[in-house]
């Protein structure tokens, strides 16, 4: 169960067995059923969550009931409402499971204990936050400057295995277009238009 997280961490920092065991002792294992919430908008997000298996999404719902998906997260990725987690204020995002999901979670107090006991984890989480920030900036730039077709092509090129796990409605909500328009884009690509 811990092989994926160990190999994930090893991409960025080297841990002794004792340091890794300490990390595991501070984390909690959690399972979510498909459609179960990790956090709902308005609640305080208490955990940073590493996906061991499954798929989640972070999204908002506007006044018209339209979903706007901000992020997907699959195996070997982290997810949280970072603002809520760090400031201990109500979450902006809903985060729910699109598939049955297994997580490893760290709460804020455990994360601080981890930093104190093994300072190299500060480097690890700094790198994770930097990568998330870069991805967010790229997503904003693509969303603001590219056509819907280019946004779709960027999505399928950047996340080639993700699209098969999602509905057309979910992909469209991530791209900021209607499912019907996504269908036309797919048809145009398939026919070479």
Indicate whether 193 pLDDT > 90.
no
159 to each of 18, 40, 55, 73, 110, how far by Cα in Å?
A: 35, 25, 13, 11, 31
Q: Which of 58, 61, 56 is nearest to 75 (CA)?
A: 56
Q: How many CB atoms are closer than 10 A to CB 40? A: 14
Q: For 34-62, what is each residue's pLDDT tens digit?
A: 999 999 999 999 999 999 999 999 999 99
Q: How many CB atoms are closer than 10 A to CB 97? A: 21
DSSP assignment letter at 26: H
Provide the pLDDT for residue 39: 98
Indicate whether 1 pLDDT > 80.
no
Q: Specify the pairing of strand 101-107 against strand 47-53.
A: antiparallel
Give me the residue label for tokens 């077709």.
149
- If pLDDT is split at 50, 70 and 90, which confidence band does 119 have? very high
pTM: 0.91
Q: For 130-188, what is each residue's pLDDT tens digit?
A: 999 999 999 999 889 999 999 999 999 989 889 999 999 999 999 999 999 999 999 98
Q: From CA 135, how far away is CA 146, in angstroms rounded?
A: 16
> In the predicted model, what is the mean pLDDT of the chain?
95
């Amino acid at each position: 169960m811990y092989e994926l997280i160990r190999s994930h961490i090893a991409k960025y920092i080297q841990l002794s067995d004792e340091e890794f065991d300490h990390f595991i002792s501070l984390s909690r294992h959690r399972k979510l059923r498909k459609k179960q919430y990790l956090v709902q908008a308005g609640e305080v997000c208490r955990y940073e969550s590493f996906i061991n298996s499954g798929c989640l999404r972070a999204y908002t719902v506007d006044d018209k009931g339209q979903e706007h998906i901000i992020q997907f997260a699959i195996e070997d990725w982290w997810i949280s409402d970072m603002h809520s987690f760090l400031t201990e204020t109500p979450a902006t995002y809903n985060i729910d499971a699109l598939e049955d999901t297994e997580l490893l979670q760290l709460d804020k107090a455990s994360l601080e204990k981890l930093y104190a006991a093994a300072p190299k984890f500060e480097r690890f989480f700094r790198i994770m936050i930097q990568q998330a920030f870069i991805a967010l900036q790229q997503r904003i730039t693509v969303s603001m400057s590219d056509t819907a077709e280019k946004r779709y092509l960027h999505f399928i090129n950047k996340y080639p295995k993700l699209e098969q796990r999602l509905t057309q409605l979910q992909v469209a909500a991530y791209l900021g277009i209607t499912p019907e328009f996504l269908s036309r884009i797919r048809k145009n690509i398939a026919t070479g238009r």
